[in-house]
Chain A
Amino acid sequence: MSLQDRSQRAQELRREGKRIIGYFCCYVPLEFLTALDFVPYRIWANMQEPISEANLHFIPTACHYARSCFNNALKGYYDFFDGVVGAKTCDTFDRMFQVWKYVLKPEYSHVVHTPNANHPSSYTFFRSELKTFKKSLERAAGREISDKDLREAIRLHNNNRRLVRQLYEFRKESPPRISGSELAHTVILAMSLPVQESTRMLEEKMGELENRPRPEPVKPRILLWGTPVDDISLIQLIEECGADVVMDDICVGSRHYWPDVAETDDPLDGLVERYMDKLVCPFKFWDVTTTHRQDVEKRYSYLKQYAKEFGADGAIMQVVTYCAIHALDVPDVRDYFHEMGLPVLTLEHDYNVATFSSLRTRVQAFIETLD
């Protein structure tokens, strides 16, 4: 299925009577939606179309990704939603959600506030936020969620995440049997389906990959870092320049699929832990540690692990223009990659394929230095 048709199945399900909830950001606890039989559908931006309608409501100097998500909504691409759920993480998505709600007046909407810091009180607060979210969804669904339902939903999502991680295993090979763009394509489709169907699709993909012959030749291996990328064009561009994208640290990718929810006696315990402690996003302000070194290690040591396990030869840090939380992390992360001995290319882009030609030259030059 092409990415342009990614909403086809959700629209079909809606005609069959299912209720579809669009969500922003990987901090929305999908387990609650699944437990109530809502279909969670990740709200996508659009790398192929320029921003048009959204410019009437949003300043042009705001994150292209967020504006593009809203632009899709204004164009009617999300008319099949029965509601939208956001997570308060970065300021831009918060404002965009508010404008979305103000202008489009969705039938159901809710925001889960995710604390920035992890003070002891942040956990108490977040637990109440989850309970409030649960109640709000229960009202919308007209029925309650039992602990059993929630546990089952947690298991379903954990299983789904495990399969994506297994898919990533194929990228450790040299050369990998699955290209970066094919994997991104699969993951984007996986986020557009109900979790059970998403899991079936991933299982089929796994079966197919196991029998697939290794490609030739060996190419430089890239770790891709940065802002959300829900289109394969940018990854394809890197591949066309002669490299393999073998690992990512982006939220439409490993950030979403790496941590599981621990299956705890009280399911809320596991959920609080995942969404407070395990997910990674630069918006998060971790507890203050004593030295810069410790702070950097705490925040980025997983990148060292990724680079080692996936055999990265270089890192491409891509940031959509005006994303403050990522742009402010660039100097620290870049230095961290350098310390690992990885060459780094930093790209700022407008999330639009029409503007990518200038990136191509820079990517080409970077990859030549890795050969």
Chain B
Amino acid sequence: MVVKTERGIKSLNTTKEVYPTIKRYIREARIAKQEGTRPISWVTASGIQEIIWTMDNFIALYPENFNGQCAAKQISLPLMEEAERRGLSRELCSYARNTIGYMYGCKDLSLPYPGGGLLEPDFLLLDNGNCTSVHNKWWRIMENHFRVPLFMLDIPILTPTRMNRDNVERHYIDFVISQIKACFAFLEDQTGSRMDMDKFKEVVRLSDRVGELFDQFLELRKAKPCPVGGEDTVVLPAVMVYFTGTKTGVDFFERLIKETEERVKDHEGVIKDEKYRLLVDNIPPFYTLGLFNYFQKYGGVSVAETYILSFNYNWRRMDADIPFESLARKYLAHWYTLPLEEHVELVCRMVEDYEIDGVVCLALRSCKVYTLHQWTLKNALEKRYGIPTMIIELDMVDPRDYSDGQVKGRIDAFMELLDKKKRR
């Protein structure tokens, strides 16, 4: 099955560096594996980079990132079908199906895998801060297949009746701290070297710096015209996932800000005539990122995306001198663990801050955790601001749930609606 897709066309040079940087990282991983110098771990992408970079004596690979790349390379379908042949329902998370299909059938299918394929893991790390139901099972299935040790960092959600990010009950923080410590103990066991407290503090400091820079970058995007669109920013989570807590990450975001600042100074927008400022909710369809550019035909620019926020800690700055406490608070303040009320308020603030004209909700067929409450969010935005919103039904990785003609037809109608509203 061939799906009509388009690649995203970027405005910045810095964002074009992302994939080559990741390719280099994977190449180094391949050498380390061959030479047996550092073990490989498959890690959830939700954000325990500080733990990883503190140890720094193993290589973390991210199946979720791999899945996005497979989708971009248009090779997800046979992998997902392989997982379905093994008895997994087609309605399950397409990320999980893609990785599990790869795990079972990569050699037989022999496709042009990104980075030459995911190197087999020596152990697995799982944190469920941005998805519980699927992540737990998915990592367990991989553990069963590879027969390697696994550590799970269990992140509770901030239960909606009584907490928000400023008011977290003590036992939640203690619970996460004790697991971060247990995770270090597991890694010491796996890698044979000790965790260094000074290094830990330095990594937390660098991680916080990445968060701070990311916030500055978001501020710059509020400019009119918007200097950077969603087609560029969708690659930023990959940088956050691979390099939060490192100098590489800090350097990247400093360059990104510099380039963006220049564009703001020169009033250089994503397109010449920016008419509509759009907010895009949810994970993008990696097999057709050109969808972001499609809005530009009508003068629409994606100036804010919720997806990229789910990898950034933008609440209070972290105190590197109390790294355990700081990290526990960060892990508990994930985009997913937030209570719905707070989530809605955050998106409302984005609508105001970025002066949004229309909201595009990507309703992902197979990602339940990020999509379940989306209609409640949409209703709240419409009610509060009378803002036009559209829902596009598709999937982040599974191209079978995407119909190019239909989606574009709906976008055409939506943009006409925005136009009418603006003329009124």
Cβ proximity bits B250-289 to A, threshold 8 Å, 1 near / 0 not: 0000000000000000000000000000000000000000
CB distance from A317 to the nearest CB of B (A): 10
Contact A324 B86 (CB under 8 A): no
- A103 adjacent to chain B (CB < 8 Å): yes
Taking a contact as CB atoms closer than 8 A, the residue among B159, B178, B344 that contacts A111 in the complex is B159
Interface size of B in residues (CB-CB distance below 8 Å) = 56
A258 interface residue (CB < 8 Å to B): no
B 329-372 to A, binary, CB cutoff 8 A, 1 in contact else 0: 00000000001110010000000000000000001011011011
Name the interface size band of chain A.
35 or more
> What residue of chain A has the Cβ atom nearest to residue B178's Cβ?
A121
Binds A, one of B107-115, B131-139, B233-241: B131-139
State which of B136, B169, B372 has its C-beta within 8 Å of the C-beta of A132.
B169
In the bound assembly, the distance between CA atoms of A61 and B150 in angstroms comes to 31
- Which listed residue (B86, B131, B339, B375) contacts A59, Cβ 8 A? B375
Contact with B along A310-338 (1 / 0, CB 8 A): 00000000010110110111111010000
Shortest CB–CB separation between residue B364 and chain A, in angstroms? 8
> Nearest Cβ in chain B — how far from A233, in angstroms?
22
Contact B373 A99 (CB under 8 A): yes
- B91/A61 in contact, CB under 8 A: yes
Tell me how far the C-beta of B260 lies from the nearest C-beta in chain A, rounded to whole angstroms: 34
28 contacts between A and B (CB under 8 A): A58-B375, A58-B376, A59-B372, A61-B366, A63-B368, A91-B133, A91-B372, A94-B157, A98-B340, A98-B373, A99-B340, A101-B160, A103-B376, A111-B160, A115-B154, A116-B152, A121-B175, A121-B182, A124-B178, A283-B133, A285-B136, A321-B89, A324-B93, A324-B137, A328-B88, A330-B88, A330-B89, A348-B89
Interface residues, chain B, with chain A CB atoms under 8 Å away: 86-89, 91-93, 96, 128, 131-134, 136-138, 140-141, 143-144, 147, 149-152, 154, 156-157, 159-162, 169, 171-172, 174-175, 178-179, 182, 339-341, 344, 363, 365-366, 368-369, 371-376, 379
* A interface residue numbers (CB < 8 A to B): 56-59, 61-63, 88, 90-92, 94-99, 101-103, 109-113, 115-117, 119-122, 124-125, 128-129, 132, 136, 282-283, 285, 288, 291-292, 295, 319, 321-322, 324-325, 327-332, 334, 346, 348
Since A95-B372, A113-B156, A115-B154 are in contact, a sample of 13 more A-B pairs with Cβ atoms closer than 8 Å, ordered by chain A residue number, is: A59-B371, A62-B371, A97-B160, A102-B344, A110-B159, A116-B152, A121-B182, A136-B162, A285-B140, A321-B89, A324-B93, A327-B88, A328-B137
